[in-house]
Structures are given as structure tokens and as C-alpha cells.
Amino acid sequence: MSSSDGGHWAPFVAVPAAAPDRAAGPARQLACEGETFQLLPDGRGGTHYAWLTGPNAGYGFTASPTVDDDEQHRASIRSFLSMIDPRTGYVADD
């Protein structure tokens, strides 16, 4: 959108991830692109991916709906990693 059509970009607001729902299933680890992630059900029909080997403790992402196939999990992880700024270890702001 542009200002000429009356619209504008809204700022992105981070929404805290739901606490992992350990009752929904056990956590497990998955390796991808030389990194290790812990996969946890999020209690809302999604999966929380905690980046265990990342530079920032507790950092990761949540994706929904939950998938059952490891290659689909790896595709989500690859997408996340492609957005990471190597200088900061966080999703890039550009």
C-alpha cells in the first residue's frame, strides 16, 4: 500500500508464543542445516521450535498448523534460518 491510495504499512507487533503444552506430547529434537531445534506442541494446534544451538537463548518461532513430517518441519526451520541476521542471531529487520 502507499500513501496515495490512503493506506500505509502497519508496524509488526510481536506476539508472545504460547507456553509449550507438554500434555499434548513430548518435546523432541530435530537437526537441520547444522542447527538443532527442540519441537514442542504449543497447545494451540501449532509447533514451537526452540533454537537450541542458536546464539540467543530461548529464541525460536512458532508455526501452525502442526505438521507430522520431518521434511515439513525442516522446511519451516530453513525458512526461519533464511531470515536470520548473522550479526545478531535474530530475524533481520529489513
Domain boundaries, the chain: 20-94
pLDDT more than 90, % of the chain: 57
Residue 14 has what pLDDT? 41
- Residue 58 cell numbers, joined: 530461548
- Residue 68 cell numbers, joined: 507430522
Please state, in angstroms and rounded to a whole number, the distance separating the CA atoms of residues 16 and 62: 10
Say if residue 10's pLDDT is above 70.
no
Strands 28-32 and 60-63: unpaired
Is the pTM for the entire model greater than 0.75?
A: no
For 71, list phi and psi in degrees, rounded to 5. -65, -35
Q: How many CB atoms lie within 10 A of CB 58?
A: 8
Choose among 3, 6, 44: nearest CA to 24. 44
